[in-house]
Amino acid sequence: MLNYLARRVGSSVIQLLGLALLSFTLIHLVPGNPVRTMLGGRASPQQVHQVSEALGLTRPLINQFLGFLGHLLTGNFGQSFTFSQGIGSLISQRLLPSVMLILFGTLVALLIGVPLAVVGALRSDRPIDHGIRIFTTVSFAMPTFWSGLVLALIFALKLNWLPVSGYTPGFVGIVRSLTLPAIALGLSLLAVIVRTLRSSVRHVLSLEYVEAAQARGFSTPRILFKHVMRNAIMPTATVLAVNVGFLIGGTVVLEQVFQIPGLGTLLFQAVQQRDYPLVETLAVLSGAVVVLLNLSTDIMQGIVDPRVRLGGKSV
Amino acid sequence: MSDTFTTTSRTTRFRFRIRNWELSLGVAMLGIIVIAGLFAPLLAPYPPNQIDILHSLQAPSFSHLMGTDFVGRDVFSRVLYGVRIDVFVVALITYAGLVIGVIIGTVAGYFGGWLDAIIGRVTDTVVSFPFIVLVLAVVAIVGPGLKGVAIGIVLVGWALYSRLARSEMLAMREQPFMLATRALGYSTPRAIFRHALPNLVRSSLVYSTVDVVVNMLVLAGMSYLGLGQQAPGADLGSIIASGQGYLLTAWWITTIPGTVLVLFGIGVSMIGDGLTRGELSMATV
Amino acid sequence: MFERLRNSHRGIGQRSLKVVAGIAASSLAVSLFSIPAGSSSSSSSGVNTSTACQGTPVKGGSLVYARQTGPLTLNTFFPTNGNGDIFADTLLYQGLIMPDPKGATQNVVPAVASSWTESKDGLSYTFHLRPGIKFSNGQPVTAADVVFSLNYFANPKLDETAVLSSGYKNSVVVNASTVQMNLTTPTPGILYNMSIFDAFIVPKALVQKEGKKFWDNPVGTGPFKLSSWIRGSSITFVRNPYYWESGLPYLNKVTYLYAANDNTRLLDLQNGQAQIADGIPFAQIKSLKANSTISVQSAKVPYWVGLWLNHQRKPFQDLNVRLAMEYAINRPLINSQIYAGLGTNPNSVLPQLRFDAPNSVIKPYNFDLAKAKQLMAKSKFPKGFSVTLQYPSGYAAYTNLVLVLQAEWAALGIKVKLQSMDQATETQDYTSGKYDMTFPYAEFTSDVTVPDEYAPFVTTYAGGGYSFYSWWNNPTIAKMVTTFTHTASDATRAVQWPKIQKAMFDQTPFINILDLPFVNAHKSNVCGTYLNPLGADSLQYTWIAK
């Protein structure tokens, strides 16, 4: 176990370093001098130099990279150009809406997806299974921003049940303001959840002990919950962890549709206003979230299932 | 080489028996959309950017099948041209990613060792970046426009193909026909490109049906955000975005191109499902 | 971490709404603020006069205001996001004097100073501080604070628009409640120029002690004080308990919710997330007026759709090209189809300002494609040329306008490439000269009602302003403007200005597409929604009826 843990943590650290290096390289690929781009064409050479120095851009690249890493590790992300505020505090102000949206969206996907997957598995290759598959295909093919717009048109503009945009803190506020975007986000995730879960449920159902349980006359619901679901939880968690990057991407777009003041909106504003330090930090942090989530699901899986840590997985 | 071919054709027959209707329906849907885009210049009743502001926001009618937008442009013509550019860009970026990824993955899998280790870590890194975030970062640098979005997507897109091809290559490396290439003294490039690649590319092609849909959605999303296709050019995402302010008064500007996007995605997914299902059934046999 | 170096003059341009100007209350003179608050809530046209607002103003409640642009900094001397900053500053701070907050007149009225006198030679002004006036932290405003702030106003290193302090010599403390401001030469416009954000009064000791941090949690004499601020998203103000207008403000809390997309703001209003929204999309005004729960307020302010041409680009140096472009614009069509007929065909390259000559004296450009083509043929670019036009994203009107302009100029062989941008980024590119054609500010307004702000801006080439970043250099007109701004007599100025107006209009160094009113909309029970003559909201008078 320790061995597995060490290997897994080691590769995650390398991945995190890679993320930092990639973001760093991207920003340094900015054609010309990034400071000049930020300050505009008329900035005097002295001004450019002054800012470059303030940003530490006059140091050798390797020192700059090490400095950047140091900042990331200490949580001191520097200053945003656009908002003249520390990047750390900017992010902390914007974190909650995005996290809530992702959690809520995942919840919606699970609430719809789990029953569909179970039904699909139990009735596999029957018309209802095909129906479910077609439904998930459609939900997969819908752009999140478009389903968001259509939901807003129906439930906010026509029926006036829910707000059309914005974000209100507090439980009721979150439920009201994030329901529509969460449905749009959940729909985009639905296909992958239903498909994974369906096939793992089918797999478990075909296992001998389940068949034995059936033979012993246990009722289907009981078998489902006792054996099947328990065994299907881990694959679903893995799928969710793997897709968290996809969810983060979805929130970037949906936060625009619904004007939610989250990290997606912040990233979008940073991109539009060429706030490179902010873009860089947000990119690394979002990648780190993906890496760390995957790491923790893998570790959990290693604990639950010895086969994993014995090398079945990390090819 | 020859035994692979037999495998393939057997799969094909099998697949067609099992999922015939799904595959055919997908091919038909995609076919219609692609042909419509291909022949947009012939099919479009109006130039896509021709404005006629006195006839703005007209509901669908015989003269404007999908109505007109806020400056009186014909939505039908714009959708046709939008499909044309989107399908072209998506095909280009998806298969560019596929080619790059498959080559890198094959090389990594074939040689193994430190090269494989490095490529593996790079792949892991790229894959763990949230896709849209990385595309946005590239757009921040390159500037808004289809070019930036395309570069961003390719920059991420190759990685999954590389992973796929690598693991297939690992498995294939020890198969008799690959061992034979070595025994026959074929050069390494010949072994890789003539013998290994054609076999590994199939799973990548199947996966690409998912990738095409995802890329199309990302492309549309970027255009929706105003970072993709720039005005006045037509593109499905930007047409949808432009209609957002008219949701209540002119539903057609937003809903029709959105439906086309969905149909495109369904068509491609059905093809993918058809192929995969055939394969899965094959595997269980 | 370091000073924002952008050097932009965004601030200048963007605020906007001139209020409504109901002409009603001409009695508002120097001492107007002793009028019991609320007694005049229905006097000004354009303000909500619905039956809900006929009653006595009620204290309390909170207001959410959906706005097109939010503050990036609260440093009132150095705004970087135009009206986004300035309209927030106007709630937090005030100057010695201010533009009539109810917009009834175009005059400046007392604020931190309760009265002032002007010396006969026009070279000095004496301001008497309002007795007992305090900052929002409870500290009294002193003469030293005023001198400190006025010196900021005149310091180009500290004040972005210090060019507006032209003529300022110094200020001295006369006694604890009196300050004298001296000029080098008579400059009547300086009173207007110091009534706005660039000369707001801040506490000397605190600013010196806290440095840049002061602006994160600032203190002023405005009706509200800062409560919380999520940059790029929203900012919340609460009532300033020490505000000097007795009984005001009515509202406990005001939140500016930033929504760059005009349609979103409108939906926020219709859906109830916001009670008031600015920058209403013109195309939707008609349907909004039919909605009985919403009132549309239109205010005449110096607001225009100004299109800047970069004179560093060869084609724009050619007068024939510029004139051809003017004549190729079908303004009546643009006005009726895009701006709901609310605009007016301009006869000035600047917005409508005091001393402007009427259309009968200076005639607007009328659409004439044949003439445009002739002019183009005469130019150095008879076959046309290619340029990029940058425009702000999120505005239906701009999105539509650029498509029409593109088509109209295509007839002259001018190939226009369109580039939509975030408005702050667009302004940044503009001030750094990285543009061919651009709309410098999405909401482009003069900050004062007289030409004394914009006329020097657009003609001063030297000193880094490059004629407001147009790189248009016309020393003759520049000299006329300098004479105008330093002439003491309004009668003389009224004669000088039309000549300048015509000279600039004939040169058409930039293009004024249309003059427009400011349009905002609010729930019908939001009362007392006054704007000053420049479009800033005077929310101290606003109250919410039951």
Dig out the tokens for B196 from the structure: 């290994």
Chains with ≥3 Cβ pairs under 8 A against A?
A: B, C
List all residues 6 or more positions away from C86 whose beta carbon is below 8 Å from its beta carbon.
Answer: C11, C14, C15, C76, C79, C196, C197, C447, C536
Does the pLDDT at position C41 exceed 50? Answer: no
| Residue (of C447, C386, C390, C392) closest to C422 by Cα position | C392
Least confident of C160-164, C465-469, C473-477: C160-164
- In the β-sheet with C253-258, what is the strand arrangement from edge to edge? C224-230, C234-239, C253-258, C62-67, C276-277, C511-523, C294-309, C437-438, C386-392, C415-421
Q: What is the mean pLDDT of chain A?
A: 82
Q: How far apart are the first and last CA of chain C?
A: 47
Please, which pLDDT band fits residue A5 given cuts at 50, 70 and 90?
confident
- A244-257 vs B197-224: helix crossing angle, rounded to 10: 20
Residues of B in contact with C333 (CB under 8 A): 53-54
Over range A287-308, report the average pLDDT: 82
Q: Which residues of chain B have a CB within 8 Å of the CB of A19?
A: 125, 128-129
Is the same domain home to A297 and A164? no
The number of distinct structural domains making up chain C is 1
**Residue listed under structure tokens 């007694």:** C39
Residue A275, SS3 per DSSP: coil
DSSP letter for each residue of C38-71: TTTTTSSTTS--SGGGSS------EEEEEES---
Q: DSSP character for B58?
A: P
Q: Report the distance separating Cα C46 and Cα B277, nearest Å.
A: 67
Q: Which tokens go with C199?
A: 């000369």
pLDDT of A215-261, one tens digit each? Answer: 777 777 777 777 777 777 777 888 888 888 889 999 999 999 888 98
Distance CA A141, CA B212 (A): 10
Element (H, E) at C179: strand C178-183
Query: How many C-alpha atoms does A101 have within 13 Å on its Cβ side?
Result: 32
Backbone region of residue C531 per phi and psi (left: phi > 0; alpha: psi in -120 to 50; beta: other values): beta
pLDDT digits (tens, 9 = 90+) for A32-74: 556 665 555 445 566 667 767 766 667 777 888 888 888 888 8
Per CB-CB distance under 8 Å, the chain A contacts of C271 are 156-157, 160, 163-165
Residue from the list C257, C271, C425 with its beta carbon closest to the beta carbon of A273: C425
Q: Which residues of B touch C419 (CB under 8 A)?
A: 144, 230
CB contact under 8 A, A137 and B266: yes
| pLDDT average, residue stretch A100-107 | 95
How far lies B156's CA from each of B8, B160, B278, in Å?
30, 8, 29
Of chain A, the percentage scoring pLDDT greater than 90 comes to 23
Range of the domain at C466: 304-515
Interface test with chain C among A42, A55, A158, A257, by most C beta carbons within 10 Å: A42
Between CA B61 and CA B43 the distance in angstroms is 17
Residues of C in contact with A85 (CB under 8 A): 216, 231
Distance from CA of C419 to the nearest CA of B (A): 7
Among C80, C226, C231, the strongest candidate for a mutation testing the A interface, having the largest count of A CBs within 10 A, is: C231
Residue contact B133–A283, C-beta within 8 A: yes
Is pLDDT of C264 > 90? no
For residue A268, the chain C residues in CB contact (below 8 A) are: none
SS3 A168: coil
Q: Is residue C386 part of a domain?
A: yes
For chain B positions 4-63, those within 8 Å of chain A (CB to CB) are none
What CATH number did the domain enclosing C442 receive? 3.10.105.10
Q: Is residue B8 part of a domain?
A: no
Q: What is the ipTM of this complex?
A: 0.86
Q: pLDDT of B128-176, one tens digit each?
A: 888 899 899 888 888 888 998 999 999 888 999 999 999 888 888 777 7
Judged by CB atoms closer than 8 Å, whether chains meet at A143 and B269 is answered as no
Query: Is B9 part of any domain?
Result: no
Asked if A261 lies within 8 A of C234 by C-beta distance, the reply is yes
Residues A124 and A260 in one domain: yes
Rounded to 5 degrees, what angle do the CA atoms B83, B86, B88 make?
100
Residue C400: list chain B partners with CB under 8 A. 53, 70-71
Average confidence (pLDDT) over A91-116: 93
What's residue C334's pLDDT? 94
User: What is the rounded distance in angstroms from the CA atom of residue B23 to the CA atom of residue C453?
Assistant: 69
DSSP assignment, residue B53? G
B-C contacts (CB, under 8 Å): 45
Best-predicted range by mean pLDDT (A203-207, C227-231, C405-409): C405-409
Report how far apart, in Å, the C-alpha atoms of C191 and of each of C26, C188, C500, C507 are.
19, 6, 22, 30
C407 touches chain B (CB under 8 A): yes
d(CA A206, CA A220): 13
In chain B, the N- to C-terminal Cα span, in Å, equals 23
Q: Residue C491, class by beta-carbon neighbours within 10 Å (0-12 exposed, 13-18 middle, 19+ buried)? A: exposed
Average pLDDT (A16-39) is 73
Domain containing B209: what range? 26-283
- Cβ of B132 within 8 Å of Cβ of A252? The answer is yes
Domain annotation covers residue B6: no
Residue A310's pLDDT band, with cuts at 50, 70 and 90, is low
Same domain, A120 and A246: yes
Give the minimum alpha-carbon distance from B267 to chain A in angstroms, rounded to a whole number.
9
CA-nearest residue to C272 within chain A is A163
Whether residue C229 lies inside any domain: the answer is: no
For chain B, what percentages of helix, strand and coil (3-state, to nearest 5) are there?
Answer: 80, 0, 20
- Judge if A99 and A42 occupy the same domain: no
C313 domain residue, yes or no: yes
Residue B89 lies in a domain: yes
Query: Both A259 and A123 in a single domain?
Result: yes
CA terminus-to-terminus distance, chain A: 17
For residue A165, is pLDDT > 60?
Answer: yes
CA dihedral of B107, B113, B119, B125, whole degrees rounded to 10? 150
Whether residues A142 and B167 touch (CB distance < 8 A) is answered with no
A122 and A253 belong to one structural domain: yes
CATH number reported for the structural domain that contains residue B97 in this entry = 1.10.3720.10
Task: Output the pLDDT for position C49.
Answer: 61
Q: Give A65-68 contacts, CB < 8 A, sequence gap 24+.
A: A65/A20, A65/A21, A65/A24, A68/A20, A68/A24, A68/A280
Residue C6 touches partner A, C-beta closer than 8 Å: yes
Contact criterion met (CB < 8 Å) for B247 and A253: no
- Predicted confidence at residue C183, as pLDDT, reads 92
Number of structural domains (chain B) is: 1
Indicate whether C539 pLDDT > 60: yes
> Given an 8 Å threshold on Cβ–Cβ distance, is C262 in contact with B245?
yes
Considering only CA atoms, give the Rg of chain B: 22
Residue pLDDT, tens place only, C428-456 = 788 888 899 999 888 888 888 889 888 98
Question: pLDDT confidence of C365, banded at 50, 70, 90?
Answer: very high
Q: What whole-number distance in Å separates Cα of residue C159 and Cα of residue C75?
A: 9
**Burial zone of C27 (CB within 10 Å; 0-12 exposed, 13-18 middle, 19+ buried):** exposed
> pLDDT tens for residues C160-202?
777 788 889 999 999 989 999 999 988 888 899 899 998 999 9
Query: Is residue B260 within 8 Å of B78, Cβ to Cβ?
Result: no
Domain with A218, as residue range(s), is: 95-272
pLDDT of residue B141: 83
Q: How far is B64 from chain C (nearest CA, A)?
A: 20
Hey, is the C-beta of B207 within 8 angstroms of any chain A C-beta? no
Residues of chain B under the 50 pLDDT cut: 1-18, 280-285
Please give the Cα distance from B133 to A286 (Å, whole number).
Answer: 8
Q: C400 and B70 in contact by Cβ < 8 A?
A: yes
Question: Residue A10 — very low, low, confident or very high, per pLDDT cuts 50/70/90?
Answer: confident
Chains with 3 or more CB pairs closer than 8 angstroms to B?
Answer: A, C
Are C232 and A265 in contact (CB < 8 Å)? yes
C250 within domain boundaries:
no
Say if B19 falls within a structural domain.
Answer: no
Residue of A nearest to B209 (CA): A141
Asked if the bond preceding C249 is cis, omega within 30° of 0, the reply is: yes
pLDDT for C26 beyond 70 = no
pLDDT (tens digit per residue) in B38-73: 999 999 999 999 988 888 888 999 999 999 998 899
From the list B53, B56, B231, the residue facing C420 with the nearest CB is: B231
Tokens of B82: 């939008």
How far apart are alpha carbons A195 and A113 in whole angstroms? Answer: 9
CATH of the domain at A188: 1.10.3720.10
Whether residue A166 lies within 8 A of chain C, CB to CB, comes out as yes
The count of domains in chain A is: 2
Please check whether residue B80 touches A, CB under 8 A: no
The pLDDT value recorded for residue C8 is 34
Average pLDDT, chain C: 85
Is A52 among the domain residues?
yes
DSSP states of B235-257: -HHHHHHHHGGGTTT-HHHHHHH
Find the CB nearest A41 among C230, C264, C434: C434
